[in-house]
Amino acid sequence: MPAWRAIPILVLALAAGACGPDERAARDCAAPPSWRRQVEACTQAIADDPKSTKAYNNRCQAYNQLEQPAKAIPDCDMAIKLSPRNADAYNNRGWAHEIRKEYDLALKDYDKAIELRPKFALAYANRGDVYAKQGDRERAIAEYRRALVIEPDNDVALSGLKKLGARP
């Protein structure tokens, strides 16, 4: 290999080796190797920047994945306080309420997420899940189908329709 081709590789290798713990925490907070690692990384990111909306929202999502909604909700609340138009934070808080079977609160948050981002397929699909859990099959199917119009491969909507025995 000519020497000039090795220089970019060497620069990349040095940059990767220079990745410090703060940079690693920020990366793991955004794209974690595991949900527990995301909680740890986002906790570090919040310690470094207490106004990091993304860190609070990402930690909320990780707590939801770990089925710890009591820890998720305060993080989503903080993300919303820091960024009141953050549709993702409303969606994640809705999911935390859904885990707790607080369906009215979940629907309120999903509605707000959709109001802020009308083409938010996951929020429609999540709203469909709540309707399905409440036994409102027709509304659930309608929400899942709305999600699929926006995002034809949305796993939540496809799975929901399958559980209800409905076609996309």
pLDDT at 42: 95
**pLDDT over threshold 70, residue 3:** no
For residues 98 and 149, membership in a common domain is answered with: no
For residues 88 and 106, membership in a common domain is answered with: yes
For residues 112 and 143, membership in a common domain is answered with: no
For residues 126 and 50, membership in a common domain is answered with: no
pLDDT at 101: 98
pLDDT at 7: 35
For residues 103 and 84, membership in a common domain is answered with: yes
For residues 59 and 111, membership in a common domain is answered with: yes
**pLDDT over threshold 50, residue 5:** no
Domain-terminating residue out of 102, 117, 132:
117
- 105-140 tens-digit pLDDT: 999 999 999 999 999 999 999 999 999 999 999 999
Q: Is residue 129 part of a domain?
A: yes
For residues 72 and 91, membership in a common domain is answered with: yes
Q: Is residue 12 part of a domain?
A: no
Q: Which residue has the higher pLDDT, 12 or 157?
A: 157
Q: Which residue has the higher pLDDT, 33 or 47?
A: 47
For residues 41 and 113, membership in a common domain is answered with: yes
For residues 76 and 27, membership in a common domain is answered with: yes
Contacting residues for 93 by C-beta, under 8 A, at least 6 apart: 60, 72, 73, 76, 77, 80, 109
For residues 103 and 129, membership in a common domain is answered with: no
Specify the CATH number for the domain of residue 32.
Answer: 1.25.40.10
B/e letters for 76-111, b = 16+ CB within 10 Å, e = fewer, are bebbbebbeebbbbbbbbbbbbbbeebbebbbebbe
Q: Is residue 36 part of a domain?
A: yes
Q: Is residue 4 part of a domain?
A: no
Residues 143-166: what's their mean pLDDT?
98
Say what the pTM is: 0.85
Domain span holding position 77: 20-117
For residues 112 and 128, membership in a common domain is answered with: no
pLDDT at 22: 65
Answer yes or no: are the C-beta atoms of 156 and 147 closer than 8 Å. Answer: yes
How many domains, the chain? 2
Q: Is residue 38 part of a domain?
A: yes
- 11-34 tens-digit pLDDT: 333 233 333 346 777 788 988 789
